[in-house]
A and B are shown apart, each in its own frame.
Chain A
């Protein structure tokens, strides 16, 4: 038994956190995985801090398998309160650890789709 559908994953799938869209997002991106049809959109609103801005709100929307949707939900929880530097430093292994289930090569792409969406959103920032 791979035990992929462990309780915390199913909990995020059934009761997604931060699902929705932000009308006034500072960063947003949408990516799909053409081999399985999964789509993830991410909207991020930054706070008013003068120095280092932190994520005030993050929302995800889209459609897909349990893994991609649960990972998106987990990512938005993690994002809340993070700085741009912290977001940019999030690596594949961090995202996979967040999901916390043994994923093969194919299913890892499902878990990494929300991270790829975040990375696409971060690219919109003007380089200073």
Chain B
């Protein structure tokens, strides 16, 4: 799809919240790395399901339950196709990306790691792809190492090469940084891991990439991918762990209870096949169906077109921000990033900047963005972050620039 066929006004018309005003100004929602807005197609899919087909899944021998089960499993199949996963059984529904990563840490990690083994993460990770590995390392007596980040916000891949050896059992890496926007070379990282640490499994935090970039899990070649529905036009409360089925089949359950068992007696139980083995209890049925609708929506717009639109916006935003005095952008140049930018405005705390922008109807994020170690590595305090998605426009970037100038005029003394 060419960018000419990408009609941002038509896309905005799909998102009811775009008519919302904040302090009398149309909302300019630039906090998409935290969570995305929802198109009516997703809202209607969930509403229709609640009104016409709702029941619990995988249980009842009745029409509604059969319809609910079919819709739930169809959502799984559409999500598998969306990431080019060969087998939908590898798509495990979780609450969010955080729970997906915890599933790997608790299930695969505790079964396969022992004292003396090593876990390699990066200094670029969101806390969700760092703290579970800290906990795992502590509980099994493994060593936790990290790949440092260069001052430009890139991974120091030479250091990865130095860290990899046969003791490494797990490598966890984000695909796109939620702070500096860097797109990490997952294929290259996987290739190095396979060559130097063949027993190691690779976990990719895809929470910032799958919403924006056409993803082919087979080409990328990692073992596990974690992502959240709410960042990709889907509802909250639903996320995905995609794992290669042959790995998932050998893993012990994470949470236990109903739905995930084959047989139970008073003393013990045996496990259901995947994916049910990892979906204990009544799942987020409606949210899974909502995520299925989100995947359909994104596919209809076209992931190539969404990526191209984000690339245009980030390039334009970085050009405009570079014209502003006192603005320092964090991370690599626009060519190397996804559609987000963290920055500092000299003399203005990011909270104050965000507050003044809010008065202009502009939503950005301020703080550490759940990645405090990365801020420490880059030697910066809290930052302001603008993150874009398919419905954002150049006009909104212009409003951001205007808002920053306004904050400067309110909060700084120009003598």
Contacts and interface: CB of A to CB of B under 8 A. Distances in A.
Interface of A: 1-2, 4-5, 10, 13-14, 34-38, 64-67, 106-107, 110
A110 B356 CA distance: 15
A36 B350 CA distance: 9
A34 B376 CA distance: 12
A1 B355 CA distance: 10
Interface residues of B, number: 18
Interface string B364-408: 001110001000000001100000000000000000000000000
B413 interface: yes
The 9 A-B pairs of least Cβ separation, nearest first, read A65-B349, A65-B351, A37-B381, A37-B382, A66-B352, A65-B352, A1-B359, A36-B382, A5-B410
Contacts of B352: 5, 65-67
A67 B23 contact: no
A7 B35 CA distance: 34
Contacts of A65: 349-352
Contact of A36 (B23, B356, B367, B413): B367
Contact of A2 (B23, B366, B368, B411): B23
A67 B359 contact: no
Contact of B366 (A14, A34, A36): A36
Nearest to B382: A37
B368 A35 contact: yes
B84 interface: no
B117 interface: no
Given A37-B382, A38-B349, A64-B349, 5 more contacts: A5-B352, A5-B356, A5-B411, A10-B411, A65-B349
A36 B365 CA distance: 11
B390 to A, nearest CB: 28
Contact of A35 (B349, B367, B411): B367
A104 B367 CA distance: 16
Contacts of A37: 368, 381-382
Contacts of A34: 372
Nearest to B370: A35
A35 B349 CA distance: 13
A21 to B, nearest CB: 21
A46 to B, nearest CB: 32
A14 B382 contact: no
A66 B359 contact: no
A2 B359 contact: yes
Contact of B358 (A2, A36, A64, A67): A2
B23 A1 contact: yes
A1 B21 CA distance: 12
